[in-house]
Amino acid sequence: DAKTTQPNSMESNEEEPVHLPCNHSTISGTDYIHWYRQLPSQGPEYVIHGLTSNVNNRMASLAIAEDRKSSTLILHRATLRDAAVYYCILRDRWGAQKLVFGQGTRLTINP
Amino acid sequence: NAGVTQTPKFRILKIGQSMTLQCTQDMNHNYMYWYRQDPGMGLKLIYYSVGAGITDKGEVPNGYNVSRSTTEDFPLRLELAAPSQTSVYFCASSGLSSGSTDTQYFGPGTRLTVL
């Protein structure tokens, strides 16, 4: 599986936008970029995924670089409930039932 | 829908004891997974199943066994508990195998301590 690199931790203020970066320089053409997050004492939950184009959903936006070697998860207006560990994961289009979790980015939101 | 449920929530075992972690999903998903998460680390896949009667090893299967007799249930068995198995265990399920659209749904976890 191609690897991803994320900062260990980030901090932001409530009601401000948050940009969480992810580097994946060895990404292949068939890899999708998935983001999951894990709230304290809970199991991970799906946030968003994309292939080439930027994606939006009710939780977040995903901005993918033109060369696909990096991506950014954007929380438009962070709340205290968004404090979590965010995982950026590459998944092959045709297989890879497993999710390969790195250590993720621990996001702290200040009130 | 309850989603993915796990029991028990917490358990303390003595070295050498055995136990079964239960996992049930009510979404009629074919795929089910067991992960473990050690403190400060990401999750690692133990076993997974692509349907009733079919299971396969993940990244860290040693010391564990699984079975899948129904679509809904995917129990994880620890035969001879060791301190290295102290961890939080998460069960997950998904409806598709494709990495393009497969969303995994996770249970709340079982916190296991082996002393």
Task: List pLDDT tens digits, range A58-85.
Answer: 999 999 999 999 999 999 999 999 999 9
Q: Looking at residues B68-95, what average pLDDT do you find?
A: 95
pLDDT of residue A99: 77
Residue B96 binned pLDDT confidence (cut-offs 50, 70, 90): low
CA distance B12 to A13: 39
Residue B97 has pLDDT above 60, yes or no: no
* Residue in A closest to B105 by C-alpha: A45
Q: Which residues of B77-95 are buried (b: 16+ CB within 10 A; e: fewer)?
A: ebeebeeebbbbbbbbbbe
Query: At A1, is the pLDDT very low, low, confident or very high (cuts 50, 70, 90)?
Result: low
Residue A29 reports pLDDT greater than 60: yes
Of all residues in chain B, the one with the smallest CA distance to A41 is B108
The pLDDT value given to residue B41? 87
- The alpha carbon dihedral of A86, A11, A2, A56 has a sign of positive
CB A102 within 8 A of CB A88: yes
Q: Which 43-102 residues of chain B touch chain A by CB within 8 A?
A: 43-45, 48, 50, 58-59, 90, 92, 94, 97-102
Q: Please report the sign of the dihedral spanned by the C-alpha atoms of residue B93, residue B2, residue B23, residue B109.
A: positive
pLDDT category of residue A108 using cuts at 50, 70 and 90: very high
pLDDT of residue B102: 74
The verdict on a CB contact (< 8 Å) between B109 and A32 is no
Q: Give residue B109's pLDDT.
A: 97
Chain A residues 40-59 within an 8 A CB cutoff of chain B: 41-46, 49, 51
pLDDT tens digits along A55-64: 999 999 999 9
Backbone angles phi, psi at A49, to 5 degrees: -150, 160
- Cα B7 to Cα B28, B50, B75, B82: the distances in Å are 19, 22, 10, 20
* Average pLDDT rounded to a whole number, residues B9-31: 95
Q: Do A93 and B106 touch (CB under 8 A)?
A: no
Contact B109 A98 (CB under 8 A): no
Interchain pair B40, A51: CB under 8 A: no
Query: Is there a contact between B104 and A99 if contact means CB atoms under 8 Å apart?
Result: yes
Cα–Cα nearest to A15, from A75, A60, A77: A77
Average pLDDT, chain A: 91
Tell me the percentage of chain A whose pLDDT exceeds 90: 74
pLDDT at B99 exceeding the cut of 90: no
Coil, strand, or helix at residue B88? strand
- Quickly list DSSP for A35-71: EEEE-TTS--EEEEEESSS-EE-SS-EEEE-TTSSEE
pLDDT of B59 over the 70 cut? yes
